[in-house]
Amino acid sequence: MPAAVGATTISRVGGLLLIVPSGQRPAETAGRMIGGLPLLRRIVLAGTAAGFDDVLVRGDAPSVGSLLEGTRATLVGEASATAPNSRRRVVVMPANVVPQARWLRTLLEQPLGGETLSVDESLVAVIETDEPAAIVVAAARAKDVAALVSELRSKFTVTLRPEDRDGRFVLLAPGDETRAERWLLRSLIKQREGFMSRHVERRISLAVTRRLAATAITPNAMTIVSATVGLIGALFFLSSTPPWPLIGALLFLAHSILDGCDGELARLKFAQSRWGATLDFWGDNVVHVAVFACLAIGWSRDIGAAWPLLLGVSAAVGTVGAASVFFRRTMEDRVEASGAAVARLIDALGNRDFIYLVVLLAAFGHARWFLVAGAIGTPAFLLLALWLTGRHGRVR
């Protein structure tokens, strides 16, 4: 458990996030569950993800200490706290504000003159100062964030900051937890989504994720469940007899939907890891290879010829090769500025909307056409990836 301290040592780089009671009942506010995490813990983890080197929480150990187990937060008790004085960015966060990590990062990096206070209507305050210790001391004795901001207004040059309703959600009433969760879930949609993925799959996966958030199910467990569903679905493509290919296609679609839940859970609960992202990425590609392989084997068995196996090999090699080239770029989830037009083309070719074509083909008894398309399309996709690598040095 973080220990309440009278003298707090604060590092000089990366900024200080100072979480202060909002004026509501502190214990009740801190423990409100938002997306599977207590509110106070969510604020602390968002601050850490945003790059704050230090997170201080104003509160009593018995009421909030257990919420901070395993975090880098330090409790500041009622006793005066001291800190080394040097130029520092301090962000004061009311304990009833649900923040996005990216928004906190903008507060950490926004231009601000020395000895200046920037504050918005929700009393989120940003201070650039040579004396961060004085702010910590003031926070230790202030009744709530309103009292602290009032005191800071008398000591610093004040500028008003426009509201950013996309970056934070203020809890004011008991029912706001539900609205805050919906707001958080909407923010989980990735930069690059196909039309059907955004408007169909995400609606379902986010609804599932919202229910999973309150359970002990981990993102990696969801990755395994998703891959298992996909691999079971692949087996149905060994037969061309209706309705087995259609069942396989629907399970393939279910895999795609569930595959979104692991990443959503990880981002929602700050449980991202390199291992988890790697497991998710390659689990997805293993399912695709299994679908191509089962289509090829089933086709070959039905006609008593080996040439469909060559189609399966072509599709599998193209899939694995392109995945290997784009692995790092997918992990970073961003579009490289250099060659952005080509990168957008790659995203368009690589989105998940093709799964609906598989379902449609299977419904009309032509699931094997997907193998033909894969045998041609995935090697072409790989060649395009290699060309992009040669042109820009590496693909991100």
pLDDT per residue as tens digits for the range 330-355? 555 544 444 554 555 555 555 678 89
Residue at 113 is within a domain: yes
Q: Say which residue, 267 or 63, is predicted with more confidence.
A: 267
Residues 296 and 239 in one domain: yes
Residues 261 and 347 in one domain: yes
Q: Which two tokens stand for residue 152?
A: 């800071």
Q: Which two tokens stand for residue 87?
A: 């130029």
Residues 312 and 221 in one domain: yes
The pLDDT-based confidence of 61 (bands split at 50, 70, 90) is low
- CA atoms of 55 and 75, how far apart (whole Å): 9
Residues 238 and 127 in one domain: no
The pLDDT-based confidence of 11 (bands split at 50, 70, 90) is very low
Least-confidence region, from 1-10, 103-112, 256-265, 270-279: 1-10
Give the pLDDT of residue 340. 57
Give the pLDDT of residue 2. 47
Give the torsion through C-alpha atoms of 308, 311, 315, 320, to 10 deg. 90
Which residue range forms the structural domain that includes residue 147?
A: 16-170
Residues 166 and 242 in one domain: no
Residues 214 and 334 in one domain: yes
Q: Quick one: CA dihedral 127, 128, 133, 134, positive or negative?
A: negative
Residues 147 and 229 in one domain: no
Residue at 175 is within a domain: no
Q: Does residue 366 carry a pLDDT above 90?
A: yes
Please give, one letter per residue, the 3-state secondary structure of the chain.
Answer: CCCCECCCCCCCCCCEEEEECCCCCHHHHHCCEECCEEHHHHHHHHHHHHCCCEEEEECCHHHHHHHHCCCCEEEECCCCCCCCCCCEEEEEEECCEEECHHHHHHHHHCCCCCCEEEECCCCCEEEEECCHHHHHHHHHHCCCHHHHHHHHHCCCEEEECCCCCCCEEECCCCCHHHHHHHHHHHCCCCCCCCHHHHHHHHHHHHHHHHHHCCCCCCHHHHHHHHHHHHHHHHHHHHCCCCCHHHHHHHHHHHHHHHHHHHHHHHHHCCCCCHHHHHHHHHHHHHHHHHHHHHHHHHHHHHHCCCHHHHHHHHHHHHHHHHHHHHHHHHHHCCCCCCCHHHHHHHHHHHCCCHHHHHHHHHHCCCCHHHHHHHHHHHHHHHHHHHHHHHHHCCCC
Which of 170, 204, 221 terminates a domain? The answer is 170
Residue at 1 is within a domain: no
Residue at 3 is within a domain: no
What is the domain count for the chain? 2
The pLDDT-based confidence of 315 (bands split at 50, 70, 90) is very high
In the block, tokens 């901001």 appear at: 149
Residues 343 and 275 in one domain: yes
Q: Does residue 117 carry a pLDDT above 60?
A: yes
Q: Say which residue, 348 or 196, is predicted with more confidence.
A: 196
For the segment 35-50, what is each residue's pLDDT rounded down to a tens digit? 999 999 999 999 999 9
Q: Which two tokens stand for residue 271?
A: 């449980």
- Whether 47 and 23 have beta carbons less than 8 Å apart is answered as no
- CA atoms of 108 and 47, how far apart (whole Å): 10
186 by Cβ neighbours in 10 Å (0-12 / 13-18 / 19+) ranks as: exposed
The pLDDT-based confidence of 8 (bands split at 50, 70, 90) is very low
Residues 194 and 118 in one domain: no
What values do phi and psi take at 90, rounded to 5? -115, 130
Residue at 285 is within a domain: yes
- CA atoms of 355 and 258, how far apart (whole Å): 13
Give the pLDDT of residue 68. 87
What values do phi and psi take at 79, rounded to 5? -65, 150
